[in-house]
Structures are given as C-alpha cells and as structure tokens.
Amino acid sequence: MESSDAAAGPLIEAGAEIVMAPRAGPLPEGELRRCLEGCDAVIASSDPFTRAVLAASPQLRLIARWGVGVDNIDLGAATERGVAVANAPGLTTEAVADYAFTMMLALARCLCPARELMAAGGWGEFRGVDVWRKTLGIVGFGAIGRAVTRRAAGFSMRILAYDPRVSPDEVAAAGARPVSLRELLAEADFITLHAALTPDTVGLIDAAALRAMKPTAYLINAARGRLVDEAALLRALQEGWIAGAALDVYAEEPLPPAHPLRRLPGCLALPHNAFNTVETAAAVNGAVVDNILAVMRGERPPGLVNTDLVGVHSSVEHR
C-alpha cells in the first residue's frame, strides 16, 4: 500500500501518521529494524519479523500482514511481547489460482521463448504440449488448490490432490482424487504447489521427489519458495529429470540477479507477482486497514492470527 492509495484515507482520517519504507520489501533484518523505529503498527510484506527484530521494536503493537502467509513472523515472540499479528485470509485465492494456471499454460505452449524470439526479430516454431485432458497434481488442497481444481475442470483434466490435513471425502467432494505424494509425483503431467510452509513441508520437493516425476512433467510453484530444494531443481532442469518449471517464489527474495534459475532454459522465473491484480490489491488494502483501525480502537482485529494473545489494547498513537 502507498500513502497515496485510496485505502490510506481512513487511516489518515483516524489520526495515523503513515511512514513509508524507502523501498519495496522484503527488507533484510537490519533495514527492517530501522524502518520500525517509532512505529506502533506495520503493514508487512514477507519481511523477516524475527525475535531480534521484535525485541528492537518495543513500541510495535501490530503486524498487519499484506496477504495471508505468516511463516516470516515469529508468532511466539510476537505473542510474548503483546504484538498482534493479523492477516487478510481468502482475498488472494482467485488471483493466485489464475496465475498458477497461467504459468502452466505458458510452460506447456512455450510462450516465453516464443516471445523472446519475436522481440529479437526472429521467427520460428515452438512445439508445446496439450493441457487438455492431462493429469494435474495439486500439492496442498486449501482454498487456492481448490480454486485451481475449478479451473482445471474446464480443461477436462484428471485432477490428483495430496494434502494430509484434508480428508479424502473433502478432496473428492471438491472434484479431485485424493492420493499419496508418491502417486501424485509418478502420475501427474503438471504439478502445482499450494501447500503452507511448515517444518514438515520445507524441502518437500527435493531431489528424490523430482526424480520421481515423469521426465515430461512440469513443476509450478506459486506458494512458498522453500517448499522446493532449489539446488535439486536446478540440477533436475539441467539434466532433464523433468521437462520444465515455473516459479513465482524463491527461498531468497528478491532472487539474486546472478542466480542461474533466472536464465535457465526450461525455467519460467517470475518476480513473486501471483497475488497482484487491481481487484485483489484493493480488497487486501481494505482488510489491512480494517485490522489497523480495530487495534487503534482497542478492538480485536478481524484477521487476528495469534489468537492466544491476551487482550488487544489500543497502543497505536493518533498523531
């Protein structure tokens, strides 16, 4: 959100002073700590809100996450320090599902190398593969995974889903066949990741998983970068274990300029933009503002994540 955004109006009217970060996040810890000096609330990207950052920000009372994921926030430390953490659940679902499906289509039909050839003044053919009636494997069957399922149904795809937190009956009711990860890896023509990042899912797609995929299969990740072992993926693409990959998220963001995934043939590397539509931004901005205004009034923010926080009192100053 920018101070000029229409969504900022209610905050200014409520007496809040808006201080802008010097650049877009995520910011490294040292820079983040400097930006938080004197702040009562922060609208957070995927910046690292570690225990050390929170300890250096004694005035902070609210981390309003712009989006859903809070794996970048030490929730235990925030709760101990009386800092409310709130997010905006459900509002990025359709945009991310659209983007993930777009990435799959772009991979299948070689759209990016074709565009690059045209931009260079060339002309040529690129033989892609069908998406119609292929097998789609969805890893993580929450709201976004189900939204992708709805889109895949329009392409008459056979849809497999792996999510140990969702009952088989619930998966089947949403239009997918519940399977083990091993079965999904072995059978899917396209695999799209929509799992939450937890200690159990870090590195879920490792060398063994990539070797278990078909050599003609494609991997799409618009969830969290650390779900994938990037070194293993790099090797898989270089040695032809799989046909290609599309990535919108990375273990380190921004992805370093010299990182080989940026320019590797067969890898569609994109700058973490799956959520970014006009409509989604407006909706999330509104939810973030509602969270901040609630805390300013001494109320429980509607998107509160650390629900075991004892009391949410107004400590956001009206300046």
CATH of the domain at 228: 3.40.50.720
Domain presence at residue 304: no
Residue 310's pLDDT is what?
A: 73
Whether residue 241 sits in one domain with residue 284: no
Whether residue 82 sits in one domain with residue 125: no
Whether residue 257 sits in one domain with residue 291: no
Res 50 pLDDT > 50: yes
Whether residue 155 sits in one domain with residue 16: no
The torsion angle over the Cα atoms of residues 18, 22, 25 and 27, rounded to 10 degrees, is: -110
Whether residue 292 sits in one domain with residue 213: no
Average pLDDT rounded to a whole number, residues 117-132: 97
Whether residue 100 sits in one domain with residue 17: no
Residue 3's pLDDT is what?
A: 46
For 155-213, what is each residue's pLDDT tens digit? Answer: 999 999 999 999 999 999 999 999 999 999 999 999 999 999 999 999 999 999 999 99
Res 311 pLDDT > 70: no
Domain presence at residue 261: yes
Whether residue 192 sits in one domain with residue 254: yes
Residue 5's pLDDT is what?
A: 65
Residue 317's pLDDT is what?
A: 44
Res 1 pLDDT > 60: no
Domain presence at residue 199: yes
Strands 158-162 and 218-221: unpaired
Average pLDDT rounded to a whole number, residues 211-240: 98
Residue 24's pLDDT is what?
A: 81
Domain that holds residue 27: 6-91+277-296
Average pLDDT rounded to a whole number, residues 232-239: 98
Whether residue 116 sits in one domain with residue 47: no
Q: What is the number of domains present in the chain? A: 2
Express the helix, strand and coil content of the chain in percent, nearest 5 each.
Answer: 35, 15, 50
Domain presence at residue 139: yes
What is the distance between the alpha carbons of residues 86 and 63, in angstroms, rounded to a whole number?
A: 6
Going from the C-alpha of 296 to that of each of 10, 159, 227, 291, the distances in angstroms are: 12, 45, 36, 9
Whether residue 233 sits in one domain with residue 150: yes
Q: What is the pTM of this model?
A: 0.91
Domain presence at residue 144: yes
Domain presence at residue 41: yes
Whether residue 87 sits in one domain with residue 119: no
In the chain, where does DSSP find H-type helix?
9-13, 29-35, 51-55, 75-80, 93-108, 111-119, 143-153, 168-173, 181-187, 207-212, 230-239, 278-296
Whether residue 172 sits in one domain with residue 140: yes
Domain presence at residue 302: no
Res 312 pLDDT > 90: no
In terms of pLDDT, which residue wins out, 6 or 129?
129
* 8, 19 Cβ separation under 8 angstroms: no
What is the distance between the alpha carbons of residues 87 and 68, in angstroms, rounded to a whole number?
A: 5
Res 44 pLDDT > 80: yes
**Active site positions, annotated:** 224, 253, 272
Whether residue 290 sits in one domain with residue 235: no
Which residue, chain included where needed, has tokens 């380190």?
Answer: 252
For 80-108, what is each residue's pLDDT tens digit? Answer: 999 999 999 999 999 999 999 999 999 99
Q: Would you give the distance in Å from CA 146 to the centre of its chain?
A: 15
Res 313 pLDDT > 90: no
Res 51 pLDDT > 60: yes
Q: pLDDT band for position 8 (50/70/90)? A: confident
- Residues whose CB is less than 8 angstroms from the CB of residue 103 and which lie 6 or more positions away in sequence, other chains included: 220, 222, 246, 248, 268, 270
Domain presence at residue 234: yes
Return the CA Rg of the chain: 21
Strand order in the sheet with 158-162: 177-178, 158-162, 135-139, 190-193, 218-221, 244-247, 267-269
Q: Which two tokens stand for residue 77?
A: 């430390």
